[in-house]
Amino acid sequence: MTLPSAAAARPSALSRVRYPYAQELANAIARALLEGFDKHYRIFRQMSRDALGRFERADWPAVQRAHAERIALYDERVREAADRLREEFDTEHLPETLWQDIKLQYVGLLTNHRQPELAETFFNSVSCRLLNRSYFNNDCIFVRPAVSTEYLEGDPPAYRSYYPLRDGLRAVLLQIRRDTGLSLPFHRWRRDCRWLLLALREAFARPLRLEPNHQIQVLSSLFFRNKRCYLIGRVVNGHLEKPFAVPIVHDSGGGLTLDACLLDSREIAPLFAFSRAYLMADMDAPAAWVDFLAALLPGKPKAELYTALGLQKHGKTLFFRDFLHHLAHSTDEFVLAPGIKGLVMIVFTLPSYPYVFKVIRDRISPTKDVTHDTVREKYMLVKRHDRIGRMADTLEYADVAFPRERFSAALLEELRREVPSLLEETDSQAVVKHLYIERRMTPLNLYLDKADPAQLREAVIDYGRAIKELCSVNIFPGDMLFKNFGVTRGGRVVFYDYDEIAYMTECNFLRIPPPPTPEAELSAEAWYPVGPNDIFPEEFAPFLLTGRGVREAFLSQHADLLEPGFWNATKARIHEGHIEDVFPYLPGRRFAARFGNPGPSN
């Protein structure tokens, strides 16, 4: 570790006057840091609370704005806190030993705090803006957590318990409804309850005997995203615990209705997928919520759950701790990711770890009209946009130190040649100054090469669906080659290459005019003018539909993507203010599709 110079090892004169003892100075800085975090979380929580009002008003544009604003909130508070420490405490001239005291004082302040894990991450974020990288160790920042969140509860507690055997099922369902805080009426409540019970009976083996411990546990706040909110909990009966998620939507009469009941962790997990916008929920003690959700979704890492709840910075912290743990318990090498090399990014991976690492090239191919700043802007656009299950979320990191001996020779040579400005090497480390990390998926082009006919057909059809769903939320993917899409473990096609994306409303979708002469048609040059935002959908087919099976599958469902009419009609809906309703569960799981009969009102 590099120690500060003798001059830097002395607190500033101003700090010595105001805080004559080092302990007082450390305590003052720790308190200022925690005040910065508490301000952040108050604003974060209020924005999450306000989601209920936006949902009841059906103010979908406000929902989208709030999502983007909440993402920007964290960095604003970190900058604000770092500026305060620089101005009030001259933190550039504090010795390492004092920063260790600051951390200890900060830990003491978190003893009865309800968000200690988030406060530790905030401490790290501010510290990393102020300190040299040599300080990035557990003495000075929270490389490991210092305050336990086990059995931490909020006020109110994270979940409520209801007892149908004691109070009656109808009364319990009414009480759950009241406890949601929703004020709009459920016009067909009896029908909704009947459908809910039908779904539950299908999910539980018959005959069902209710045990003395039978209860329904429901998280104490709804989860809000887009045009839906979700009631999430579990049914406990003897040794059986059954998770559930009940989507609530607006009906055509100005009220609300239950839309479905998801009763399997495999159906519920997509609500928290890395390819969807973050949820909003009012959480006093997020650790208790994440513990509850982790029990419902045992395959979901806690890092992904925190991220899905809008606490993406702590999700990054947990991810990196998991990553360091994996590095300590593995010996394989980082290698270049399989597939066609990108013109903008170098992509590498650790085969034993399910993520890829993406670094922007120093020299981007001239065929790509983008710069480093443009690429970063595109990735931020995706993070703030509604990803609708079709765009992968990314974790952005700076100054990531990898064990140098774990890099393959080919990867190290590629980085040295293509990104010298972002690579810093020592005898033991290879430090990448900026990168993105994404869930690893099978590139669609590689998947299709190995797919059987049925798999190929389904993947190509889902590829077309992905493009249409992206268009519906005002995203034009730009480069639609198969290599820029991946197939998830669940078989879903997801877009992950963002350097050419644009808003649909900024594009002009045109038909190619007929050639003026036969010679013009044979020319290598276009006989028609092409503006920077002009798109000719007829040109997609020669690049995309290269195999007979691919072509037949695509044209069977998505021939309209090769005509400007589809694109312009979608653009028109967006200009009219239409916001698409996108389902994070199969349409066939909706009550109306399963049970159909509307039944009586109340």
- By annotation, the residues acting in catalysis are 393
Q: Which residues pair with 347 in a beta bridge?
A: 358
Type of residue at 10: R
Handedness of CA 49, 53, 58, 61 (dihedral sign): negative
Return phi, psi of residue 334, to 5°.
-70, 135
Max Cα–Cα distance, the chain, nearest Å = 88
Burial of 48 (0-12, 13-18, 19+ CB in 10 A): buried
Which element (helix H / strand E) includes 349?
strand 345-349
Q: What letter would DSSP give residue 561?
A: G
Distance from C-alpha of 575 to C-alpha of 434, rounded to nearest angstrom: 36
Angle between the N-to-C axes of helices 22-49 and 96-109, in degrees from 0 to 180, rounded to the nearest 10: 50
- Between CA 560 and CA 141 the distance in angstroms is 55
Other C-beta atoms lying within 10 Å of the C-beta of residue 597? 8
Q: How far apart are CA 116 and CA 135, in angstroms?
A: 21
- For residue 396, give the nearest of 424, 365, 410, 375 by alpha carbon: 375
Distance CA 62, CA 277 (A): 14
Comparing CA positions, the residue from 83, 77, 79, 75 lying closest to residue 42 is 77
User: Is residue 190 within 8 Å of 601, Cβ to Cβ?
Assistant: yes
Bin 314: left if φ > 0, else alpha if -120 < ψ < 50, else beta: alpha
Tell me, what amino acid is at 360? Answer: I
- Residue 285: φ, ψ to 5°: -125, 90
95 within 8 A of 16, measured Cβ to Cβ: no
The number of C-alpha atoms within 13 Å of 316 and in the hemisphere containing its C-beta is 20
* Distance of alpha carbon 363 from alpha carbon 371, whole angstroms: 9
DSSP state of 571: H
Query: Which two structure tokens, joined as six digits, stand for 145?
Result: 């957590």
Cβ–Cβ under 8 Å, residues 246 and 230: yes
Q: Give the whole-angstrom CA distance, residue 436 versus residue 395.
A: 5
Q: Are 344 and 499 in contact (CB under 8 A)?
A: yes
Q: Which two tokens stand for residue 564?
A: 């400007």
In the chain the first and final C-alpha atoms are separated, in Å, by 71
